[in-house]
């Protein structure tokens, strides 16, 4: 299984020794939902409130990311650019769960994150969503949380795909794709995915590969503006520091 930054961001910033796009794509059954969050008692009730504060107080807001340069950085850079240029500091974490903890503790004031680590805290009101940055999050949309695609013209795509080794024989690949599609007709399987907050949408191997190529190209272009993309196989990524383009800065 390939997903998120592993599929579209990390190959452009880190020497992996292989190209994920050369894997044999079997199919996909979900795309993770993603949103911008603040603490439940935050004075910022809307994304406009947050942006206004960030413009009036450059580099005061601390943004918790997932550690290495990944989807949270891509999404925040897009918001910063769409808002006309925002300056903030980033706080690296070990992933989605720690991002939430940093928000709850007050060490960070905002973050972008997926449904799995955030749903329990959303339900208690400990954190609040102010912008849906994935292409959809039905529950949040019903609550009036706006879509970034409609408000700012960008979307953060967090793709997942079942994949096999390069050169997997087509009859085997097709059989696996058919089985994957059939699994989505199982009510129990769908309910489990919905429970953890995944957006269910089946894609064939061809469709998810085409989507991965497109999204990787888009996210690579954003990474290039921040100086995070490898120029060649021998060049290491830029060391953490001030991030260009969107006007963001790393904490440290």
Residues 6+ apart with CB under 8 A from 227: 238, 243, 244, 245
Q: Looking at the structure, do residues 68 and 107 belong to the same domain, yes or no? A: yes
Directed axis angle between helix 96-105 and helix 115-124, to 10°?
30
Q: Which pLDDT value is given to residue 231?
A: 56
54 shares its domain with 163: no
CA distances from 90 to 10, 102, 145, 174, 252 (A): 18, 11, 24, 43, 8
DSSP class of 226: T
Is 121 among the domain residues?
Answer: yes
Instruction: Tell me the residue range of the domain where 205 lies.
Output: 2-28+158-221
Q: What is the mean pLDDT of residues 156-174?
A: 94
End of a domain among 155, 177, 205?
155
Pair 123, 40 in one domain = yes
> What CATH number does residue 127 fall under?
3.40.190.10
Element (H, E) at 86: none
Mean predicted lDDT score pLDDT of the chain? 87
Residues 105 and 210 in one domain: no
pLDDT beyond 90 at 53 = yes
> Is 239 part of any domain?
no
145 in the same domain as 76: yes
| Residue 15 reports pLDDT greater than 80 | yes
Residue 81 lies in a domain: yes
Mean pLDDT confidence for 179-197: 85
Are 44 and 145 part of one and the same domain? yes
Write down the pLDDT at residue 251.
32
Nearest to 178 by CA among 30, 26, 31: 26
Task: Tell me if the pTM is above 0.85.
Answer: no
Looking at the fold, whether 92 and 114 belong to one and the same domain comes out as yes
Percent of the chain with pLDDT over 70: 90
Together in a domain, 38 and 151: yes
Question: Are 145 and 168 part of one and the same domain?
Answer: no
Does 249 reside within a domain?
no
128 shares its domain with 170: no
**Domain check: are 67 and 117 in the same one?**
yes
Q: Look at residues 107, 134, 155 and tell me which one is the last residue of a structural domain.
A: 155
Q: Is residue 233 part of a domain?
A: no
Do 198 and 118 share a structural domain? no
Domain boundary among 123, 155, 187: 155
241 part of a folded domain? no
For residue 240, the model assigns a pLDDT of: 35
Q: pLDDT band for position 130 (50/70/90)?
A: very high
The pLDDT, as a whole number, for residue 242 is 33
Is 251 inside a domain boundary?
no
Phi, psi dihedrals of residue 207, rounded to the nearest 5°: -65, -45
How far apart, in whole angstroms, are the C-alpha atoms of residue 30 and residue 24?
18
**Total tally of structural domains belonging to the chain:** 2
pLDDT for the residue 197: 75
pLDDT greater than 70 at residue 243? no
Average pLDDT over residues 204-225: 92
Assigned domain for 248 exists: no
């Amino acid at each position: 299984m390939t997903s998120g930054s592993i599929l579209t961001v990390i190959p452009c910033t880190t020497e992996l020794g292989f190209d994920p796009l050369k894997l044999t794509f079997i199919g996909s059954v979900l795309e993770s939902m993603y949103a911008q969050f603040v603490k439940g008692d935050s004075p910022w009730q809307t994304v406009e409130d947050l942006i206004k504060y960030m413009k009036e107080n450059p580099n005061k807001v601390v943004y918790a990311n997932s550690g290495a340069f990944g989807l949270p950085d891509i999404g925040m850079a897009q918001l910063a650019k769409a808002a006309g240029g925002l300056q903030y500091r980033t706080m690296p974490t070990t992933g989605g769960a720690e991002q939430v903890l940093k928000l709850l503790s007050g060490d960070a004031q905002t973050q972008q994150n997926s449904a799995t680590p955030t749903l329990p805290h959303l339900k208690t009101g400990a954190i609040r969503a102010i912008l849906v940055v994935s292409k959809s999050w039905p529950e949040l949309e019903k609550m009036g949380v706006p879509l970034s695609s409609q408000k700012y013209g960008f979307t953060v795509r967090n793709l997942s795909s079942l994949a096999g080794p390069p050169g997997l024989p087509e009859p085997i690949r097709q059989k696996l794709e058919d089985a994957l599609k059939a699994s989505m007709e199982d009510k129990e399987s769908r309910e489990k995915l919905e429970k953890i907050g995944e957006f269910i949408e089946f894609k064939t191997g061809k469709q998810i590969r085409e989507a991965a190529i497109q999204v990787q190209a888009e996210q690579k272009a954003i990474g290039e503006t921040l100086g995070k993309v490898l120029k060649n196989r021998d060049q290491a990524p830029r060391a953490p520091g001030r991030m260009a383009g969107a006007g963001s800065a790393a904490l440290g």
